[in-house]
């Protein structure tokens, strides 16, 4: 087993061992585990089956992360990015676009990404784009996700009469629990607690029980949901509508900029990051499954 790991992952070349990689893998999982709670709930707010989305999400993370490991041998785990999931949620819930059509738009966004990657344009553009612009894209997506969360809990509501946003019922249990959860997250972040995001979700979930916000499950264990109802439900022709071009661009832009920023900020050694073949391999893996939402990246922090 050790020889197989050495042959495929070149542990000695990167000055690491199985124990270090196991710890790094566990650290990565704790860092990204919050998507297991957030992504299905976000999609459920758009009318999709939360249990089916949860099963699909797990399968997606396993397949794409294994592709990253075996195809590029780079220390990254992949999962759907909250920014793109938020856009998909808005397309279905706010704009009334059918889920199958939305999947088609995601697919064509992936096709566009692959085309630009194979033509070599992405590598050239990413190298000349100012870092400040990349940060601005990240900040904008972060604010968008924050707005979705604030609307979901009722902290912010739409005032259609004034065509603006305003505060909701600040005394409602949902808002109180959301604010408490936000404070918990800030405290954990400032203290650099490992797994701060997932820990904040767990603590906020517990806080929500006495407030009546958290619904207790009927059982602790259950079989995975049947994904047959959603498998390959893609309306390609329906997505070929000029009215959906803004959504395609909205999905494409973070796809284009954010992954490279995550790589460069992840602490990956420069000698690994700057290899041209590595950059291209990582770019290809990011769209290994073009129909999925854009991947977020989580470094294993390999030293």
Domain contains 207: yes
How do strand 164-167 and strand 156-159 relate by DSSP bridges?
antiparallel
Q: Which of 142, 139, 35 is nearest to 83 (CA)?
A: 142
Q: Which of 289, 301, 238 is nearest to 61 (CA)?
A: 289
Domain contains 2: no
Q: Is the pLDDT of residue 287 over 60?
A: no
Confidence (pLDDT) at 263: 52
**CB-side neighbour CA atoms (13 Å) of 37:** 15
Average pLDDT for 205-230: 83
**Mapping DSSP to helix (H, G, I), strand (E, B) and coil, where does residue 196 land?**
helix
Average pLDDT for 136-164: 79
pTM of the full predicted structure?
Answer: 0.70
Domain contains 222: no
Domain contains 224: no
Beta bridge partners of 77: 298
Domain contains 123: yes
Domains identified in the chain, total number: 1
The domain of 170 spans 15-215+236-299
Average pLDDT for 211-232: 80
Domain contains 225: no
- Exposure string (b/e) for 35-74, b if CB count within 10 Å is 16 or more? bbbbbbebbbbbebbebbbbbbbeebbeebbebbbeebeb
Domain contains 295: yes
CB atoms within 10 A of CB 7: 9
Residue 127 buriedness (CB in 10 A; 0-12 / 13-18 / 19+) = exposed
Task: Assign 210 a pLDDT band (cuts: 50, 70, 90).
Answer: very high
Domain contains 221: no
């Amino acid at each position: 087993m050790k020889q197989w790991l050495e042959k495929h992952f070149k542990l000695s070349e990167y000055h690491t061992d199985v124990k270090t990689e196991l710890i790094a893998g566990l650290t990565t999982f704790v860092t990204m585990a919050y998507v297991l709670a957030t992504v299905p709930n976000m999609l459920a707010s758009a009318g999709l089956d939360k249990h089916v989305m949860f099963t699909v999400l797990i399968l997606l993370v396993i397949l794409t992360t294994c592709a990253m490991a075996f195809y590029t041998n780079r220390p990254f785990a992949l999962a759907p990015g909250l920014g793109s999931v938020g856009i998909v949620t808005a397309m279905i819930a706010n704009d009334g676009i059918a889920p199958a059509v939305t999947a088609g738009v995601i697919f064509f966004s992936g096709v566009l990404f692959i085309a630009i990657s194979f033509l070599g344009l992405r590598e050239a553009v990413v190298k000349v784009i100012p870092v400040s612009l990349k940060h601005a894209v990240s900040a904008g997506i972060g604010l968008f996700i924050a707005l979705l969360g604030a609307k979901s809990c009722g902290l912010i509501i739409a005032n259609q009469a004034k065509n603006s946003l305003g505060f909701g019922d600040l005394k409602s249990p949902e808002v109180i629990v959301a604010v408490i959860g936000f404070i918990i997250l800030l405290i954990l972040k400032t203290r650099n607690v490992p797994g701060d995001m997932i820990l904040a979700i767990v603590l906020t979930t517990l806080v929500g029980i006495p407030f009546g916000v958290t619904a207790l499950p009927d059982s602790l264990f259950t079989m995975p949901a049947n994904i047959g109802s959603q498998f390959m439900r893609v309306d390609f022709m329906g997505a070929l509508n000029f009215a959906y071009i803004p959504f395609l661009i909205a999905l494409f832009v973070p796809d284009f900029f954010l992954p490279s920023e995550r790589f460069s900020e992840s602490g990956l050694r420069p000698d690994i990051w700057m290899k041209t073949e590595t950059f291209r391999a990582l770019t290809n893996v990011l769209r290994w499954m073009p129909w999925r939402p854009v991947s977020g990246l989580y470094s294993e922090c390999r030293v």
